[in-house]
A and B are shown apart, each in its own frame.
Chain A
């Protein structure tokens, strides 16, 4: 048994945690300004650069803010869909809906983002649709980013929510109604607390997937960068690995705090 577990656990330890550790250590190195060589001594200079650079602060806040907004939007959109799938739909409709939710996951992520670029562009279908009403689409920018990310990660919110709602026995909903609870009260006092762990599970996906993305911003956000874009250019173009590593610790720290908060809220109690 232990021999069986040793290989995967070893892989997890070395490849996964090991690379994180290297990243963390590299964040404290620095680049020689003249030779552009990496100097392996330890200082907080990278973090100071990031903290003091207004551009970096804006990028971090934009990344975290959009990730949070996308998570909220996905939760609000996914809940009724997941609820309908789990508690209302007939078995046949349920199977069809699961397929419908999974289907977009089979298409290339890149293709989906380009599809949205076409939808949102100046003379694209969205503006064409809105024109008769005297309105126009958001164009490329932060709003476009929110729309595209919400679309991309919606299945990752629906599926855990669906599984979580499915696990709530119908008899609990009947018991609430039996005790005088109308739909609203049953939702607040029974469904929401019981589906909360699933909601958190889904939000971990939507939040962390947005937090780590750097492709959609290049395609639909008109030069508005994410943390990932800065990391990418610093590794590839500027060749400043230490700064990239330092910036990469930001989303990791955010996720750690997020998971701790989720645990405080009791999200993992019933897992």
Chain B
């Protein structure tokens, strides 16, 4: 699972003497009049599980394809380790890709698909067979060597694509929405499996997804992208609990945002109600900001330091929790309560939360 420790992992590793596995330096990609990737600078440390997360069309695939060598950047440099690979064709790069459509060779069987890269490198026949079988065992496909891709389920095809790439022991493995074609249950299962396999082989994974939950479950660090730029980069916990922009806050789950002004006493005066305390660095007094709280950090009582009063307008049972919508002078708040809760629609309630659960966004955006 992802913990705060994992999140802290990132800066420590990047300071080690070993060069990062992937470095993008001011990488820009233009397609005629479309700016797909906009001066992206990024370092992906060795052995990490890195996610590129963002909405459709934000440039994730383009970024990945430039690392893989299928697309040349319009500007900027790409390094793998200490090796400048800008402009090198994909067959000269020590990276392998798991394509979104899997791109398995339909005329070759599972074994031949997996052995494709090794055969090219003139590895001895016995060695090829050994390594291919080993890799098929790691992805859980023993005994399927002689099947053709069309005789496999989506999940099995996905595993073949993974084995075919990993068997070459690349420096970096690129995955473009590898679970996109699977149903929800299989997707959840494959998320954990991918994580296990990454631990087992110790190769750097760069995983593209538009599913925030998937990125949070699997990645050590996540770059949230929007319109060709990195909006924020960090561990899952950090991004979830301390988003720096409204885009990141909104993209990684539900959040309640309240407008306010920084006071001289180091608090925030929320429009329509009183002051609330914040456990985060604040801009100078007088600055307009938005403060945010996640719904599950809100409580329907008066026990925490920050509180507002309001009226329940909606109550819905959503499986793991009960969702309340509460109208307050500061705005409408969404609250998730673990127990079924006692408040009913129309009741007057107090909503409270801790200063530590509060994040601050500058309103300029």
Contact = CB atoms under 8 A, between A and B. Distances in A.
Given A181-B91, A190-B105, A174 B70 contact: yes
A178 interface: yes
Given A172-B105, A189-B116, A194-B106, A179 B99 contact: no
A180 B105 contact: no
B90 A174 contact: yes
A182 to B, nearest CB: 6
Interface string A131-154: 000000000000000000000000
A180 B117 contact: yes
Interface in B204-226: none
Contacts of B117: 179-180
B125 interface: no
Contacts of B69: 177-178
Interface string B164-191: 1100100000000000000000000000
A220 B99 CA distance: 54
B99 A171 contact: yes
Given A189-B116, A194-B107, A177 B90 contact: yes
Interface residues of A, number: 18
Q: Contact residue range for chain B?
A: 20 to 34
B96 A178 contact: yes
Contacts of A175: 97, 99, 103-105
Contacts of B106: 194, 270
B121 interface: yes
A13 interface: no
A243 B168 CA distance: 65
A178 B105 contact: no
A263 interface: no
B263 interface: no
B347 to A, nearest CB: 56
Interface string B94-123: 011101010111110000000011001100
Contacts of B260: none
A271 to B, nearest CB: 14
Given A185-B120, A193-B107, A194-B107, A179 B168 contact: yes
B68 interface: yes
A178 B91 contact: yes
Contacts of B70: 174, 177-178
Nearest to A173: B103
Contact of B68 (A176, A178, A180, A185): A178
Contacts of B90: 174, 177-178
Interface centre among B95, B96, B104, B107, by most chain A C-beta atoms within 10 angstroms, is B107
Contacts of B104: 175
B271 to A, nearest CB: 51
Nearest to A175: B103
B89 interface: yes
Interface string A176-209: 1111111001000110011000000000000000
Contacts of A194: 106-107
B149 to A, nearest CB: 11
Interface string A260-271: 000000000010
A169 interface: yes
A174 B99 CA distance: 9
B99 A180 contact: no
Of all A-B residue pairs in the complex, the 7 with the closest CB atoms, nearest first, are: A179-B117, A171-B103, A175-B103, A180-B120, A177-B90, A193-B107, A178-B97
Interface of A: 169, 171-172, 174-182, 185, 189-190, 193-194, 270
20 contacts: A171-B99, A174-B90, A174-B97, A174-B99, A174-B103, A175-B97, A175-B105, A176-B116, A177-B69, A177-B89, A177-B91, A178-B69, A178-B90, A178-B96, A179-B120, A179-B165, A179-B168, A180-B120, A180-B168, A182-B91
Given A178-B95, A180-B121, 12 more contacts: A169-B103, A171-B99, A174-B97, A175-B103, A175-B105, A176-B105, A178-B70, A178-B165, A179-B168, A181-B91, A181-B120, A194-B107
